[in-house]
Structure 1
Amino acid sequence: MTIDFASDTEHAPSVKEAASLHQAVPFPQTISSLLLRSDPQQCADLINQLLVNVSPEMLTSLAGSIGDFTDAQGQPRVTPEQAGQIPPAQVEEIAATAEQHHPGVVEQIQSHTLGWVS
């Protein structure tokens, strides 16, 4: 029995295509999709990471949707229950705003969520 292996150059186009497709999905939609496949605590952790990087106006808007979500030190901190109340469109808006205010948030989120879901 002979096993034939494809050369690295034969796989290069498909790997490049897969990478470009992955990069084509905007950050806000990636976050929204990730939250749909995450447990409530993971959702809260992710949203809390995003909230550190948004404007006060965004925090006020979110408070209008889910109520008070500040911790004892006055920092934004949603609970898993509150995270579940945030509609996907608002999560995408939070992610877009966080990305605008802190472009490094994409890499920060990627490293934090590595291995969460398959």
Structure 2
Amino acid sequence: MSIQFASDTEHAASVKAALHSQQQAPFPLTISQLFLRSSPEQRAELLNQLLANVSPEMRTALAGSIGSFSDDGSQPHVTPEQTEQIAPGQVEEIAATAEQHTPGVIAQLQAAHEAL
């Protein structure tokens, strides 16, 4: 899965710059800010990629607040509509957990933006 921002080239450039910056804010805060500036579709793509890198318990906890978001119980599938129910603080928590659970998640997100 890749996150594509092809319809908004300015947004794509700022995302790429934020993820590559040496003086950027901590990863969870950067992701939370990105979430706030994104369209519902972009938010869903971002969350789905992050949720693929957290424990099943974290996914279960989030499902408790926004409802089911998994088609078959294995891969997360947050819809654009569901992203409206997710607070930036929750996104920060998900990003922090993803970073701890899968140390390479930052590189994965950077790679997703290399094509932009």
If the TM-score is normalised by the length of the shorter chain, which range does it land in? 0.7 to 0.9
Runs (4 or more) in structure 1 with deviation over 3 Å come to 113-116
Question: What is the CA-CA distance between 1:87 and the residue it aligns to?
Answer: 0.5
Supply the RMSD in Å over aligned alpha carbons: 1.8
Gaps of 5+ in 1: 1-18
Q: Deviations over 1:77-107 (max 9, x none)?
A: 1001112211111110000010001111001
Q: How many residue pairs get matched?
A: 96
The residue aligned with 1:21 is 23
In the aligned structure 2, how far is the partner of 1:46 from the partner of 1:72?
A: 19
Gaps of 5+ in 2: 1-20
In the aligned structure 2, how far is the partner of 1:54 from the partner of 1:26?
A: 18
Q: Given the two structures, how large is their TM-score scaled by the length of structure 2?
A: 0.75
Q: Deviations over 1:45-92 (max 9, x none)?
A: 010000011011111110111000011464211001112211111110
The residue aligned with 1:98 is 98
Decide which structure has the larger Cα Rg and report it: 1
In the aligned structure 2, how far is the partner of 1:26 from the partner of 1:89?
A: 14
Q: Given the two structures, how large is their TM-score scaled by the length of structure 1?
A: 0.73
In the aligned structure 2, how far is the partner of 1:73 from the partner of 1:86?
A: 20
Question: What is the CA-CA distance between 1:115 and the residue it aligns to?
Answer: 7.9
In the aligned structure 2, how far is the partner of 1:90 from the partner of 1:20?
A: 25
The residue aligned with 2:67 is 67
